[in-house]
Amino acid sequence: MIADMLCRLTAHNDQIPLTSANLTRFHSRAPPQISVYDYLRRIVKYTSLERACLLVILIYIDRVCERVRTFTISSLTVHRFIIASVTLAAKAVCDSYCTNSHYAKVGGLSTQELNTLEVEFLGLIEWRVAVEGTVMQRYYVNLVRQHSRFEIEEQPHSSTASLDSDGDQIQGEDGVPTEQDYEEALRDQWIPMGE
């Protein structure tokens, strides 16, 4: 779903004429030969990236675009944006993560280039790398709703919240999945991609 969303966004933004005023450090001279789907799979495979970090890419796109109205995710920016945002998301979300040199190698960049992108990225998002669970949940729900192959199951409404054996709420009073439901969905279900 993430790859599909990024591809749709890229296809849309590739229609926007590129000007020198729109160029950023994230622009490549030519689109990389690897597809977004294969690039994401490569990153997940060789970095053992937690899937929540992939969702954070979309949140970071919105944060950058809020601040820099001329920034677009296009076929020239998507790969470099992905590796920079994954590097930062892993550091912000995960208990353990790879070194920048490892992310750079997996992403097809030099370590120095990734370090430069990371610093640029931090400036673009004003160092707001942390993402609240409720924000991630909202993005996940919206992502599923926009993807034609998936739908969110309606939870039966109840007047009281369900509790698990530890006493943690597992379903809200309004039947909306809770943060725990969201985390389990990310943990248990890989972002489906056609084989």
Residue closest to 49 by CA, chosen among 92, 112, 1:
92
Least confident window among 29-43, 83-97, 100-114, 148-162:
148-162
Kindly state whether residue 157 falls inside one of the protein's structural domains. yes
Residue closest to 190 by CA, chosen among 58, 39, 49, 46:
49
Q: What is the pLDDT of residue 72?
A: 87
Range of the domain at 159: 133-188
Residues 169 and 77 in one domain: no
Residue 76, amino acid: L
Across the range 80-86, mean pLDDT stands at 95
Task: With beta carbons less than 8 A apart as the criterion, state whether 120 and 25 touch.
Answer: yes
Kindly state whether residue 80 falls inside one of the protein's structural domains. yes
**CATH value at residue 19:** 1.10.472.10
Q: What is the pLDDT of residue 24?
A: 82
Put simply, whether the predicted model's pTM sits higher than 0.75 gets the answer no
Residues 40 and 86 in one domain: yes
**pLDDT tens, 12-22?**
988 888 877 77
- Alpha-carbon distance 122 to 85, whole Å? 9
- Alpha-carbon distance 91 to 15, whole Å? 33
Task: Please give the share of the chain, as a percent, with pLDDT higher than 90.
Answer: 35
Across the range 77-101, mean pLDDT stands at 93
Total domains in the fold of the chain: 2
**pLDDT tens, 42-82?**
999 999 888 889 999 989 999 998 898 888 889 999 999 99
Kindly state whether residue 195 falls inside one of the protein's structural domains. no
